[in-house]
Amino acid sequence: MKNLIPYGKHYIDEEDIEAVVDVLRHKNLTQGRMVNEFEESVAKFVGAKYAVAMSSWTAGLHMACLVAGVKENHLVATSPITFVASANAAKFCQADPIFCDIDRLSLNISPIQLQAVVRNTPDKIQAIIPVHFAGTPCDMKSIHSIAREVDSYVIEDAAHALGAKYSDGSMVGSCGYSDMTGFSFHPVKSIAAGEGGMITTNNKDIYEKLLKLRSHGISKSDKHINHSSAYTNEIQNPWYYEMQELGFNYRITDIQCALGLSQLKKLPKFLARRRDLVTQYDNAFSHLKNLTPTQLAYRNQSSHHLYVIRINFDAIVMSRAELMGELRKEGVLAQVHYIPVTSHPYYQELGFDSADYPEALKYYEEALSIPLYYSLTNEDQDRVISLITKLIG
């Protein structure tokens, strides 16, 4: 059987393995220096003042919403075309998500639709979570402006977008247009740490609150409430710590951070290879009648996490399931990103209807993600192109 070509895949080399082994042999497995080094390196890469690493970006979304003061009777606005965690974060805080339809070209939350939702919603929108879908940055300047009108926090979901750039050339994660930005280090993302996430911010208060929430709400700094217990003769007791609020065990390990640090060194070449592969796909598919590459206008900004095509399945007289089945027979694994959040039973029971978001629904009906990852060879990409051209063209 031909080798399988997945839609996404991590790349690990000997340098990565040695970085992890070094931690296993010589350093703390958790709560050690590697966490700080990883945070500092990511903050420097994106141009932010602070960074806080955690066990996953889902955990990060939860903490970001808590820090933003999201609570019962609040609303959190986001896109229906995202992984469910973007919306679930609101529910974790006893708040309610609301959705804004996507822009047809960027596939990101539409500022026009967001403006309409903001103006027509009487309840407090405490936070806006724009999602940089497939690595293409949202129109953050417009979103930031809308958020300031209603005094909302902006939390960028950049799970797909480490290495992407805004239209002004600054890095996603620099937080010039937001309060916080979050990244994911799941194996299919720009860099892998097994699991893990990170939030960047330029706000020191937010940074310190995130640190506390990440570790049980415990403070080990000198900002103690119970001064008489924390100090002896004005000298801080070395054993002392205090739980100041209800927090979580959302810590990441030094093992993961060692891998993330090693991977971060390779990010520029990862991004360059993804750009090359995207260019080859764009050229190969430009002549196909019933297939349209997406996000073409944003190629110079994107981190190219996914390569998504839109297919007129009625015209090719083949369902998406049938097409994916034919691809699988030849060893090519495709995927769909994403089922609209509003189509899931949980959200339908809350009263959401995907028909209310026509651009998102139409996109979902046509979308297919095809293989894109650093180690995808030219030969395997040619296989993918040839097979799709044969089946569709």
pLDDT of 231: 87
Q: Which of 214, 232, 265 is the last residue of a domain?
A: 265
pLDDT of 225: 73
Q: What is the token pair recorded at 183? A: 């990244």
- Same domain assignment for residues 29 and 102: yes
- Same domain assignment for residues 63 and 156: yes
pLDDT at residue 335 tops 80: yes
- Same domain assignment for residues 228 and 97: yes
127-169 confidence digits (pLDDT tens): 999 999 999 999 999 999 999 999 999 999 999 999 999 999 9
Contact assessment for residue 160 and residue 306, using Cβ atoms and an 8 Å cutoff: yes
Q: DSSP string of 331-392?
A: TB--B-S---GGGSHHHHHTT--GGG-HHHHHHHHHEEEE---TT--HHHHHHHHHHHHHHH
Contact assessment for residue 288 and residue 393, using Cβ atoms and an 8 Å cutoff: yes
- Same domain assignment for residues 171 and 311: no
pLDDT of 2: 73
Integer CA distances (angstroms), 165 to 140, 159, 317, 351, in order:
11, 14, 39, 36
- Same domain assignment for residues 171 and 197: yes
Q: Which of 222, 244, 265 is the last residue of a domain?
A: 265
Q: Which of 210, 245, 265 is the last residue of a domain?
A: 265
- Same domain assignment for residues 120 and 140: yes
The 10 Å Cβ neighbour count of residue 348 is 12
Beta-sheet strand order (sheet of 291-293): 291-293, 307-311, 367-370
Has residue 9 been placed in a domain? no
Structural domains counted in the chain:
2
Q: What is the token pair recorded at 324? A: 């994916």
- Same domain assignment for residues 305 and 271: yes
Helix axes 267-285, 378-392, angle to 10 degrees: 30
Omega before 357 cis (within 30°)?
no
Mean pLDDT estimate for the chain: 96
- Same domain assignment for residues 248 and 285: no
CATH number of 303's domain: 3.90.1150.10
Q: What is the pTM assigned to this prediction?
A: 0.97
- Same domain assignment for residues 316 and 302: yes
288-333 confidence digits (pLDDT tens): 999 999 999 999 999 999 999 999 999 999 999 999 999 999 999 9
CATH number of 117's domain: 3.40.640.10
- Same domain assignment for residues 226 and 176: yes
223-281 confidence digits (pLDDT tens): 667 777 888 888 888 888 899 999 999 999 999 999 999 999 999 999 999 999 999 99
- Same domain assignment for residues 212 and 278: no
Range of the domain at 51: 14-265
Strand runs (DSSP E) across the chain, as ranges? Answer: 50-54, 75-78, 96-99, 125-129, 153-157, 180-184, 197-201, 218-219, 231-232, 235-236, 242-243, 291-293, 307-311, 367-370
Q: What is the token pair recorded at 39? A: 């945070």
Report the distance separating Cα 384 and Cα 114, nearest Å.
37
Has residue 1 been placed in a domain? no
Report the distance separating Cα 378 and Cα 393, nearest Å.
21
